[in-house]
Chains A and B, each alone.
Chain A
Amino acid sequence: MKIDITEHNGAKVFSLSGDIDLYSSPVLRKELIFFIGKKVPLLLVDFRDVSYIDSSGIATLVEGLRGMMSHGGKLKLFGIPERIVEIFAFSKLDKVFDICGSLDDAVED
């Protein structure tokens, strides 16, 4: 997995690519915790180039969501491939996360 971190209209954008699994999710967790500690108001996670996610990746995002909410921030996901949306839906997390179609949708709300 690769993480590119950029800014867009005041939001931090995490562009992820590749597989998010037990090996790579600690890297994502570390980055999320760093920005949660900085109390960033909006953190957007770009899933367009994510090919795979397992339970450790999902757990990392749930932890990130909780961390952001703890200081009144928001964490949104966008561009999730259909196959991965299905995993979120099965896990009943599609209603928990704010899932948007595109970066613009995620920023607009």
Chain B
Amino acid sequence: MGTKDDDAGRSPRASAAGSGGAVSAAGTRVGVASTAVGIQRINHMPGAGSARAEAINAGRHEMLTDTLRKQILSLAERGVKRPRIGADAVCEALLTQGVDVFFGFPGGVLLPLYDVLGDYPELRHILVRHEQGAAHAADGYARACGRVGVCLGTSGPGATNLVTGIGNAMLDSVPMVAITGNVVSSLLGKDAFQEIDITGITLPCTKHNYLVSDPNDIPRVFAEAFHIARTGRPGPVHIDVTKDALMGACTAEHPTTLDLPGFKPKFEGHFRQIKLAAEEIARAERPVILAGHGVLISDATEELRELAEKAQIPVVHTLLGIGAIDERHPLSLGFVGMHGWKHANKVIQSADLLIALGMRFDDRVTGHVPTFAPYARIIHVDIDPAEIGKNVAVEIPIVGDIKRVLMALLPQIQSVAPEQRAAYLGQIAEWRAESEKTPWHGSGAWRNGQLSADFVVGAIGEASGHDATIVADVGQNQMWTARYAGFRRPNSHISSGGLGTMGYGLPAAMGAAVGRPDKETWAIVGDGGLQMTAQELMTLVQDNIPVKVALLDNRKLGMIRQWQELVYSGNYHSSNLLGPDWLKLAEAYGVAGFRASTPEEVEIAIAAARAVNGPALVHFEIAEQQNVFPMMPSGKGLSDLLEEQFEEPKQ
């Protein structure tokens, strides 16, 4: 599992129909599209060991210009006889920043750029079906491989369609550069065709944004944008380029230094605060580490494990912190918050020291703040000073990069033997055994033999060796994925945490598959979310991006239905959802489709989808009324979890 050549060993696409037939015989209703797409899969992982690969890797956290800049061919060297224009500067700037793939959709004002794209064959442009898909794909790409994701949309509606994806990247701290075209600068402010004040719109949901109307500003602005997007706390940067800036002659060179006096993130934690933290850790009897997305972003998973092991501190994590520690690690307790594991929430509520690493005390994690971690002193490490004390008052704030702070902290930590924490860890083990007892999970059937969603998710995790990149959509499917898929590798779990964007799953998986083509990629989506962005199935086919879509279809807006059942006394308004015949839809798009409606069919359908050399969709007809438990009702605390009233599955 997990090598680039993996797919070569599986059945090629043409024979997928054959294996589908076999599955059919075994009792699963299977529909397999017969469209054969002859496009070779393009591998965008730069060859390991090459200078370019190393430069791209080095550029993950700091600006790179020189190595890549020198490799860029001039127009003359490309054999192109025309003057260099702003659009050329855009392409060169992308190459200078190590971009080799981006997601976009053309439009009137972008045509000067699309006109020159052909002269830059090193840049792979993936044509999406909707700009929202481009933004989510850039987001998924960035999360899967750690590089800056790039998306492109035209002026007006193209730009506004990107906004959801930009906001999503903002709330989840994802490095992204979103490029939009705008009308020629003389028409700005005149309500021209497809003109909208897009920099005004993206201002509050980007880390920074630019309006460029002079072609000679393009090299500097792009260099700054990429630097800002990936440095410190990552985030989306939006560049709006007018059509005349794309078309005008450009003589400016790509800069090697930047002048950003107002952007100086602090990486090293203050030594005195780190010393205080070490003292707190030495004193604590019931410490717990709460790991967030920052641990993954700063690549600090090794340091996290060392800290946990050295001081015998159990680790819980936020939704986006999944993958910060291998879930099989004995000190890993799983994820906390509204739908987190009960034992993990209990550990937070009883801890005397909470070590929060790269997380921001989201309300879905803390619940009612006055009752959050009531016995704990809190050490909060984050690279963004504005996160300190924003939602929760903390005792020991440390502003800095998680990796560097942990590297400074580790030598000051006293080793603790597991026996010294025996009582504490023993208590946690008891809680854990209790909360992991779920009568339906494992048997595959929820009530009356209906297919249980958590079983499906678990089966996907297992079938893919817990090494696939799994992208969730939003809602029940997201919580089941987080709880049951079983994550072991950093950045193998991708989810829209902050914005909770339905429709995120499929396009983000598309980006993730492009960013990590060496890993199998699954999108676990609900029937509600998939109907928001299903059009990207066509992109998967056109660009032969081998995403496997697991559709958990309960014919409901599941999380809405769950809240209506539990909070709004069963008033099920607008949560019943019709869907298309999914296999016919898949077939219409040319995507291999499979269906499973019983526990027995699950494994077969997953295997059939994995055998397809290309995209595939598995339609899981899951129980309509299954809820995600436990659940913290809004306004309540982590100690007030609702739990399933168990009903023994019928034999």
Do A and B interact?
Answer: no
- Give residues in A with beta carbon < 8 Å to B: none
- Give residues in B with beta carbon < 8 Å to A: none
